[in-house]
Amino acid sequence: MLEFLLSPPLLLMLGSVALAAAPRSVLPRSVLRALLLALPAWSLWRFWGLDLGNHLQFDLFGQTLTLMRIDGLSRIFVVIFHLAALIGSIYSFYVKDNFQPLVGLFYAGSALGVVLAGDLWTLFLFWEVAAVSSALLVWVRRDGRALAAGLRYLGMQMVSGVLLLAGIVLLRHELGAAPGWAEFRNFTGLLEDGGLGFSNLAPTLILLAFGLKAAFPLLHSWLIDAYPESTPAGAVFLSAFTTKFAIYALARAFPGQSELIWIGGLMTAFPIFFAVIENDLRRVLAYSMTNQLGFMVVGIGIGTELAINGAVAHAFADILFKGLLFMAMGAVLYRVGHVNGSDLGGLYKSMPITTGLCIVGAASISAFPLFSAFATKSLIMSAAAHEHYFWLWLVLLFASAGVFHHAGIKIPFFAFFHHDSGIRCKEAPRSMLVAMVLAAAASMTIGLFPQWFYGLLPYPVDYQVYTPTHVITQSQLLFFSALAFATLMRTGLYPPELRSVNLDADWFYRRVGFRIQDGLATAFVALHRAGYALTGRLAATALALAQRHLGPQGLLGRSWLTASMALWVAVLLAAYLLVFYWRLG
């Protein structure tokens, strides 16, 4: 029993609940915060001592469920999720209220449950817990916009859950047992040379459920919509887990699924256009997250050991550098009150340390040599090249130039440089700076010591990232992309940052869906009113009729004279007599 409680998912989830429940008199804030950091650290230390294989199996309703299945693929996600929980908790100490790190830790626990789940039922369970706990992190901002965005977010997460549940139930029907990962892979492997061809409903539903959380095109807008509505710390927690365990699930269930190559290619390319014209800088980061997820999906679709390694490595690096960028923008949000590119600029004067750390994040996401994404994205690019996907490779190269453009340059440039907005504020709080330094250091470690980092990956790596060709071609691509930006700025061709929103796929449910709902509501009200009026009229008619006949003046209701009654009785008796005689006669 204790083993179950001390497994990483349950330890973090139950631990955060226990900490939240403890009264302040027993647990002063400083002790609570120390425990908040000790919990994930201890959990990671315990986990590191465990052997590969299945752990903690139990029977429930005739199904054998596996709480922990440790292999190379799940292990690296467990490591990075613990790191993300630690860094996010430190970051969130800028407010006195500990609600955010407590919810963040709980959410991290559910994400660990997803990546450790040894079967689909367990996965589903944690999938849903993660959906609800992450919605809380949108709502922590406690204003109307965040409330509405959180509801839309939760709705989309629930759609993913329902798709997953439907897929699992169908799969259970076909396989006759609790589907573990091995059975699932065997099952999909039987279908048309590994490709789904969408011929079987169950895996297709599961792919869509995973794809929704991995922000597939047209299913992506919940991410763009909700994450930037959260608090500075909320967005940091959110950016780490949901999309990344979806990537894990795709890598686990659908490696080499050819459809994913083109889905991923599309994901790398389309968001960068939106990111260029987006004004809210945290929303720009959300778009660039979709773009980075695209690289990972491509890697999973290619499916070779190199490509899967690349996808997983890039997920690991993305949690660090995207977290770092969200933290830097969160610091600006905290100090200035907004992150609109149109109204910022010149903040390097007030927040020099944040500026420097943001530039580290920007260089990391842009895959500059010596920075993390260079060591991770190159694996995916090389995998695409080795499998001779020329056009895909061109798309990825374009997306790489584009990501530098919007995340690498636009984010630091419009927030910290550009023309001076006149805003003068304090440097970010110390907790934020510490968390950012940790994320930057971890990120730099990957870029500087890639061979050491590659040792964590699920498959053995025989890959040299620092070759003259890699370094020179990547630098050329990025520096000339920077030149394009500088030229566009100096010639005034660059579109100015404008206070605006841009339509995206969420338009379909926020505008069209809203109109439909509005129309249905109007129709319902009209129907209700018509029914009410009709019933009223019928009731009035019935009442008038009853009044006429039964009322005081009605034929049946009014009082008659005794004499007339006697007369009618006499008439009746006479008639009776006549009939009697007639019948006898």
Partner 1 sequence: MAHHDHRTPRGKRYWLDRKRNVAKVFYALIAIDVLWLAADFFYKKKAEFEGLGGWADGGIGFYPVYGFVGAFLLVLAAKQMRRVLMRPEDYYDREERSGSS
Contacts with partner 1, residue ranges (CB under 8 A): 145, 148, 272-274, 276-277, 342-343, 345-346, 348-349, 382, 385-386, 388, 390, 393-394, 397-398, 401-402, 404-405, 417-422, 424, 467-469, 472-488, 490, 493-495, 498-504, 510-511, 514, 518
CB of 461 to partner 1, least distance (A): 18
Distance, CA of 423 to CA of 339 (rounded, Å): 12
Q: Which is nearer to partner 1, 320 or 478 (CB)?
A: 478
Distance between first and last Cα of the chain: 104
Token pair 């660039």 is at which residue?
288
Token pair 């920075």 is at which residue?
371
Three-state DSSP state, 376? helix
DSSP 111-127: HHHHHH-SBHHHHHHHH
Nearest CA among 487, 482, 504, 314 for reference residue 410: 482
Q: Which is nearer to partner 1, 200 or 292 (CB)?
A: 292
Q: Which is nearer to partner 1, 198 or 273 (CB)?
A: 273
CB of 346 to partner 1, least distance (A): 8
Q: Which is nearer to partner 1, 430 or 515 (CB)?
A: 515
CB of 543 to partner 1, least distance (A): 37
Q: Which is nearer to partner 1, 394 or 543 (CB)?
A: 394
Q: Which is nearer to partner 1, 186 or 522 (CB)?
A: 522
Burial 283-315, CB ≥16 within 10 A → b, else e: bbbbbbbbbbbbbbbbbbbbbbebbbbbbbbbb
Distance, CA of 157 to CA of 131 (rounded, Å): 6
Q: State the virtual CA torsion across 567, 572, 576, 582 in degrees, nearest 10.
A: 80
CB of 137 to partner 1, least distance (A): 21
CB of 292 to partner 1, least distance (A): 16
CB of 384 to partner 1, least distance (A): 9
Token output for 260: 């994913």
CB of 374 to partner 1, least distance (A): 14
Alpha-carbon distances, residue 365 vs 199, 225, 315, 362, 512 (angstroms): 38, 22, 11, 5, 35
How do 63-70 and 53-60 pair as beta strands?
antiparallel
Q: Which is nearer to partner 1, 195 or 519 (CB)?
A: 519
Q: What are the φ/ψ torsions at residue 95 (nearest 5 degrees)?
A: -105, 150
Token pair 């959260």 is at which residue?
230
Q: Which is nearer to partner 1, 395 or 433 (CB)?
A: 395
CB of 460 to partner 1, least distance (A): 22
CB of 231 to partner 1, least distance (A): 19
Q: Which is nearer to partner 1, 43 or 292 (CB)?
A: 292
Nearest CA among 202, 214, 209, 305 for reference residue 263: 214
Would you give the DSSP letter of residue 148?
A: H
